[in-house]
Amino acid sequence: MVSFSALLSSVSLLVATLAPAALADNPINPSFPYGSQKVRGVNLGGWLVLEPWITPSLFDNTGNSAIVDEWTFGQLQDRNTALSTLQNHWNTWITEQDFIDIANAGLNHVRIPIGYWAFEVGPGEPYISGQLPYLQKAITWARNHGLKVIVDLHGAPGSQNGFDNSGHRISFPQWHSNSTNVARTDAIIKQIASLFINDQDVASVIAPLNEPAGYDGSDVLSVVRQYWYDSYGNIRFPYGTSQQSNTLVLLHDAFQPLSYWQGFQTPPNWQGVAMDTHIYQMFSQDEVSRSNQQHIQAACSMGSSLSSFDLWVIVGEWTPAATDCAKYLNGRGVGARYDGSYPGSTYVGSCNGLTGSASSFSSSYKQFLRQYWEAQTSTYEQGAGWIQWTWKAENADDWSYQAGLKNGWIPQDPTQRQYPNICN
């Protein structure tokens, strides 16, 4: 193992030393006209990477409150039980019918989160593999129904953010502080680029890492910047020659303002790079305390920064939900800021009728969800487009695109507007 990771490190070091001085690349020819046609899509959250708030039943059914993420899901229960639960979930949570419904809703992209453990599991890591065939099936389904796929590495070795959705909920992320973690991640991106080398007509985008914890400071950001250089080489040059892929490289902003990344990997020296930013208004006391109108105004105010940035900007995660009320949204066993049940938070209001089943939503609340959805999609289309989080959830209809379509706060045609002047 040591010699293997030493080899990996030297390879990524070589890419690293070459990358920042890359010669002017040729413009790529992706299978979707990014920049001229808007990305309109949805995330397939909670499928190949578990999230307690998306499928609370999978966690509650274990009867063990210490199972809070996919790491402990494999670690703290019978291995065969965990495996059969996961296999059943992979087979049923998303099927080809979902791809049919997504295409019929006028969407053109799906973003599919997947964890590193689908590709390799290291010694002492309790993850269960088996997700990869489903990702490959998803490419086939997307091709059948005219959708593009963003393959999104959502969890890296050591965890890049400590969130449960990275696979491992821990108090401080460890991905960036161990060069073996980064080398393993580089190897996985190479594997993804190679795996889909003949599927660039469908797998048109690779996102090399979701939400690295840039808010933890320069230690993280310096590793992320170098990893973005490595990833460009790994995604753009998968053939082992000077031949280039037509795959879009989608970099996350690492929770930094877009201005931080101004001039990073821009043409002509870099081609086919886009920036991913995630916009949520519920993960602080200030944000959950906003009125409906303030939520809408905050969304509307983001247009100019999206439209003026020097790379295509895709809002790769956002939601019409305006509270953190969804059960386990902040982690299994953790409460909500909105109703004051989150440690250190201040009560804003009751969560009743704001999440769970849409049958409990008032008509005025559904009207707000529609207005907020329109304000966001109209604004994010001032950039390169948007991908809502998420397609479906067991018990959080405020977050679910599927539920929004069914209950009328999301239009069957995503360009249709009831409130065309919402941001004026």
Which amino acid makes up residue 372? Y
* Catalytic residue from among 70, 317, 374, 381: 317
Rounded CA separation 166/190 (Å): 20
Catalytic residue among 211, 287, 374, 381: 211
Q: Which amino acid does the sequence have at 174?
A: Q
Q: H helices within 168-211, ranges in order? A: 179-195
The contacts of residue 202 (CB under 8 Å, 6+ apart) are 31, 139, 142, 143, 147, 148, 149
Instruction: Tell me if residue 96 is catalytic.
Output: no
51 is catalytic: no
Cα distance between residue 122 and residue 70, in whole Å? 15
Structure tokens at 263: 């001039």
Would you say 329 and 56 are in contact if contact means Cβ atoms under 8 Å apart? no
CA 388 – CA 376 distance, rounded (Å): 10
Backbone angles phi, psi at 405, to 5 degrees: -60, -45
300-308: long-range contacts (C-beta < 8 A, 24 or more apart)? 300/375, 300/379, 300/422, 300/423, 302/379, 302/380, 303/379, 303/382, 303/423, 304/382, 305/257, 305/258, 305/259, 306/258, 306/277, 306/379, 306/380, 306/382, 306/383, 307/382, 307/383
Q: How many CA atoms lie within 13 A of 399 on its CB side?
A: 27
Give the integer Cα–Cα distance in Å for 45 and 401.
11
- Just list the catalytic residues: 211, 317
